[in-house]
Amino acid sequence: MSRRVSAAGASSSAEARVRKALQKYYLSPLRYPGGKRKLAARIAMKMDCHGLNHFDRIFEPFVGGASVTIAFLEARVADRAVISDLDPLVADFWATVFSSRAGELADRVLDAEVSVDEWIRLRSNAPQDQIERAFKCLFLNRTSFSGALSATAGPIGGMAQKSEYKIGCRYNRYALAERIWELSRLSHRVSVKNTDFRRLIASYRAAATRRAIVPNDFWYLDPPFFHKADRLYRMWFADDDHRALKEHLASVPGRWFLSYDNCPEARASLRSLPGYALADMRYTANKKSMIDDISSKEVTAHNFAQQTDISTEDAFGDPGPTSEAHSGEAAQVTVEPSARLDAIARP
């Protein structure tokens, strides 16, 4: 098996690099139900166990909060990323973050009025401008219960704001704006799409077939929950979608890692897949790392043990834009936040 390892990653394991990336207080600006921040280190550990140190690209068809993609990019475990979400609000958020307009979004975050009235206004609004759609996604995510964007989610603290925790308790405007500016520097490495997982897999499978290569790519697949997904997301899976995803794994062009919330349906579905495991998501916490100690389980499967010759020839080939694609700027984005940020007291 041939693999290309980046110079940055030649001296340390994938897990070590990912754990270092996870030390950031805010890895993703979004609080996502079922967020997979802590799973990133476990995936990297599994990579190391199978002699995999680096991928040319990471794909996330259900990107949500993008924690795994961000950790892999910042750790240089992957050079580039193709991310997608069927929810256009989420896709527009990431398309803005990974673009030259990220500074406009950061300014919008800094200037926002955080109130129930603003929450109601944004919930009922249908913004035409991409910046406003991106801001709507972030604002509702940071001010709604559990970060849910669904129509049934209410504001943190309730409409009457009688709770100990008020609507703005998760809205740290300075830290969020700063993180958006930081992530915008990755824009030349990220392509954002708003498409179904079937189409995304099929398009890149066709591109790999045309080039007669097995690309050195990694697909992280974290679909919507089996239960109560309609209470958390604006887009969710029917039973047929869960079955279709399992069937499409055989056509994924590259390595893949699949994760599900722990439930009987997930265990029954994944049990026959390679690398099946019930992952204990407990990590040792310390104040320096900012990684919380949690006790939860995730149903996972992966094909890391698959033996295949990896070619990096033309590995960055893209099947071309679709009507649903949102592409980040091709050139490095330079944003200088210091003047604006210095005018606001750090929390």
pLDDT digits (tens, 9 = 90+) for 250-304: 999 999 999 988 888 889 888 999 999 987 765 433 333 333 333 457 899 999 9
Is the pLDDT at 109 greater than 80? The verdict is yes
Region of poorest pLDDT, from 40-49, 57-66, 212-221: 212-221
pLDDT of residue 227: 52
Backbone angles phi, psi at 58, to 5 degrees: -115, 135
CA distance 159 to 167: 9
Is the pLDDT at 4 greater than 50? The verdict is no
Region of poorest pLDDT, from 38-42, 69-73, 193-197, 226-230: 226-230
CATH class belonging to 88-188: mainly alpha
pLDDT digits (tens, 9 = 90+) for 22-58: 988 788 999 875 557 788 999 999 999 999 999 999 9
CA distance 242 to 256: 16
Higher pLDDT, 72 or 337: 72
Pairing of strands 297-302, 255-261: antiparallel
Mean pLDDT, range 135-147, rounded to an integer: 89
Mean pLDDT, range 179-206, rounded to an integer: 95
Distances (CA, A) of 244 to 237, 264, 268: 10, 18, 15
Show the tokens assigned to 116.
């129930």
CA distance 64 to 33: 9
CA distance 83 to 53: 21
CA distance 156 to 144: 5
HEC readout, 133-147: HHHHHHHHHHHEHHH
Is the pLDDT at 328 greater than 70? The verdict is no
Is the pLDDT at 345 greater than 80? The verdict is no
Residue carrying structure tokens 């970060």: 147
Q: Per DSSP, what are the bridge partners of residue 280?
A: 297
Distance of CA 202 to the CA centre of its chain: 20
pLDDT of residue 3: 46
pLDDT band at 325 (very low <50, low <70, confident <90, very high): very low
pLDDT band at 308 (very low <50, low <70, confident <90, very high): low
Mean pLDDT, range 230-247, rounded to an integer: 72
Show the tokens assigned to 85.
């979400």
Give the chain's mean pLDDT: 80
Q: Domain map of the chain by residue range?
A: 11-86+195-284+292-309, 88-188
SS3 97: helix
Just give the CATH number of 11-86+195-284+292-309. 3.40.50.150
pLDDT band at 76 (very low <50, low <70, confident <90, very high): very high
pLDDT digits (tens, 9 = 90+) for 172-191: 999 999 999 999 999 999 99
pTM over 0.85: no
CA distance 193 to 195: 6
pLDDT of residue 194: 93
CA distance 64 to 32: 7
Do 188 and 331 form a contact (C-beta atoms < 8 A)?
Answer: yes
Higher pLDDT, 346 or 232: 232
